[in-house]
Amino acid sequence: MGLFSFFTQELAIDLGTANTIIIYNDKVVVDQPSIVAIDQATGKLIAIGEKARQMHGKTHENIRTIRPLRDGVIADFNAAEQMIRGLIKMMNTKSRLFTPSLRMVICIPSGSTEVEIRAVRDSAEHAGGRDVYMIYEPMAAALGIGLDVEAPNGCMVVDIGGGTSEIAVIGLGGIVCNQSVRFAGDAFTADIQAYMRHQHNIKIGDRTAEDIKIAVGSALPDLEDQPSDYIARGPNLMTALPIEIPISYQEIAHCLDKSISKVETAILSVLEQTPPELYSDIVQSGIYLAGGGALLRGLDKRLSDKINIPFHVAEDPLHAVARGTGIALKNVGRFQFLMR
């Protein structure tokens, strides 16, 4: 195995709409925003990850920042391939005489079409992957949370990522029923931008909306542990003069209400399709929340009150899917039936 591991690198990749995480040897070696900056004239990569995110919305005509993934699937094939290759390079800082062949497990949304799965596979192979396996995100999230997916008991996972919310009931090592809806972190960010425009006549960019969501994002208008207001700065839409507006978590709870209700509806529709035996397992064990959206303050309480089933937030929701992908990679033989 020593020689084999010298010639082969095994990577688990959580290719997300918002962040891409790479796990190697059970450690998170890369955790960067899924964004690249490309020179318009030559098509060459200028920056990737956090550096490219800092340029986002601030570029001149020669530089273009691209988010290669939209709604959990690859929207720009060339940029996605450059991003995967660049992130793998970031991890291989020490120079080697040769490039090891790569074995990858990549997670994909459970609602992916064959074409979308093919796009991820092709991007990974072009970026140097020799063996590329796919695993569905809710399954990876369940493994990362530490649930026993092969047991005959049902468990339910809600993974609210950047582009999609994945809701799945898992039993006996397979997905029994699932739904993948395109209301997730990006939709919340867009809601905040629209709300600021209509309510406060202030124009803000993606990054500011994202910062507001992280600082004062909430799913409930009354929290016990209240975050302090966020000061948003930007131009007034009418006068183009600068204005500063304090944003409270109550306002954000109000503005995200519609999108969170859509996630609730999707959870209820999956519960409707669930076989009764598994349903009773889920009521006993509760439903697990993973993904960046699980960090929204009060979300677990709101869902528990609405659906009457306890909701638990995974201990490190942002990395749960990546961790599960890592577990699948280490046990490729055992979890072969979960892979594509």
pLDDT in tens, 211-249: 999 999 999 999 999 999 999 999 999 999 999 999 999
Other Cβ atoms closer than 10 A to 50: 11
Supply the pLDDT for residue 1. Answer: 45
CB 274 within 8 Å of CB 179: no
- Tokens 């070696």 locate to 29
Return the structure tokens found at 89. Answer: 């390079």
Whether 43 is in a domain gets the answer no
Whether 51 is in a domain gets the answer no
**Is 215 exposed, middle or buried (CB count within 10 Å of its CB: 0-12, 13-18, 19+)?**
middle
Whether 82 is in a domain gets the answer no
φ and ψ at residue 314, rounded to 5 degrees: -60, 155
What does each C-alpha distance from 73 to 70, 84, 163, 171 come to in angstroms? 6, 14, 8, 26
Which range marks the domain in which residue 269 is found?
A: 103-340
What DSSP character marks residue 218? B
**Is 157 exposed, middle or buried (CB count within 10 Å of its CB: 0-12, 13-18, 19+)?**
buried
Q: Which residues does the chain have with pLDDT short of 70?
A: 1-6, 93-98
What DSSP character marks residue 297? B
Whether 293 is in a domain gets the answer yes
Number of domains in the chain: 1
What does the pLDDT look like over 303-321, one tens digit per residue? 999 999 999 999 999 999 9
Supply the pLDDT for residue 71. Answer: 86
What's the CATH code of the domain at 228? 3.30.420.40
d(CA 86, CA 31): 13
Whether 109 is in a domain gets the answer yes
Give the contacts of 9 (CB within 8 A, at least 6 positions apart). Answer: 24, 92, 100, 101, 102, 103
**pTM: predicted TM-score of the whole model, two decimal places:** 0.91
CB 62 within 8 Å of CB 212: no
Whether 190 is in a domain gets the answer yes
Supply the pLDDT for residue 105. Answer: 93
Supply the pLDDT for residue 93. Answer: 61
Whether 68 is in a domain gets the answer no
Whether 333 is in a domain gets the answer yes
d(CA 336, CA 186): 32
Other Cβ atoms closer than 10 A to 316: 14
Q: Collapse the DSSP code of 45 into the 3-class scheme (helix H, G, I; strand E, B; otherwise coil) and give the result.
A: strand
Burial 107-144 (b: 16+ CB within 10 A, else e): bbbbbbeeebbebbbbbbeebbbeebbbbbbbbbbbbb
